[in-house]
Amino acid sequence: MIKRALISVYDKKYLDKLADFLAKRGVEIVSSGGTYDFLNKIGISVKKVSDITGSAEILNGRVKTLHPAIHAGILARTDQLEQLEESGIEPFDLVVVNLYPFEQMVASNAGTDEVLENIDIGGPAMLRAAAKNYPRVTVICSPDYYDILVEQVEKNDGDTTIEFRKEMAEKVFAHTTAYDNAIASFLTERGEQFAEHLTLSFEKRKLLRYGENPHQQAALYLDPAYKLSSLARARVLSGKELSFNNLWDLEATMQMVGDFDEPFAVVVKHTNPCGAAVGRTLAEAYGKAFESDPLSAFGSIIGLNRVVDIKTAELIHKTRFVECVLAPDFSSESLELMKKKKQRERLCKHGIQSN
């Protein structure tokens, strides 16, 4: 049964609704710093962490939750609750924490001092403690899971299932791993050329319909640290979602498209170019690429390194069947024309256009 919650979040999205839900169920809420101020301002009954610890926040908020009264309350197993009571400490049943925006701060090109201040210490400690103790404690590391938490509490008479707690714990350790990896990458860029340990961290963007074969499963992941062009950041402007094989072909296509400065077009089938050409215009380049092997162009991927104009669009529109067209963008006139073929899939891929 969730009777006591520790809430300490940087991202306060949807927090008002979650806190109101918990408060109406009689859950005692404990918060610190800005989270306390936010909840207090909207009229939610909330206790300060400092009232629990008996210690005020120090070092401009660097130290506030790193205290036995907090971590013992999170870490105590069910068979240790009596010991916890003897120590005068109350247990937490729910921990809701999200972290300082370290990666966003790095991306904003902030100075080193400001970036270092956004390395969260207390947040990961609380998340990891709660995730370690998932047999008793529910942990939530993102506003994306608030609705699922509410549903769990409503369905389970104020509690959550062990399966849900385990799932949330898994997400926490994946999240804190990615967070630490981002910090390590930031420091490595300013230190040794090659780190002793290289750990890559990827974010799942979406599940794919199937893998390389229909009986296989697949998903598309993004490397958040990679700031250049990538298919994971591309948008489908028209047509159905991309498949694993579409993405595989598009990756091969994109590798060629980025290598040319003059107007360039390539026709790719099963990761192999069956036609590629440069021209004075994009339409001329595509015409040459298509004529290299018109037969293989059926069901192909077309890659272009300029915004698609109406002349190029008219040529592509005449092609019998094209799986995808990859380009920096499409003029409104060309996009309107190409959308008429409903089965064709198209991507708008910014960042690969040559000057």
Separation in Å, CA 98 to CA 7, 56, 120, 176: 9, 21, 9, 10
- The candidate with the shortest Cα–Cα distance to 39, out of 62, 18, 25, 58, is 18
Separation in Å, CA 296 to CA 252, 302, 321: 16, 12, 11
Confirm if 167 and 134 have CB atoms less than 8 A apart: no
Place of tokens 């001329």: 284
Confirm if 325 and 346 have CB atoms less than 8 A apart: yes
Degrees (nearest 5) of the Cα angle 29, 122, 5?
A: 15
Phi-psi region of 22 (alpha: psi -120 to 50; beta: other; left: phi over 0): alpha
Show which residues are catalytic.
Answer: 132, 270
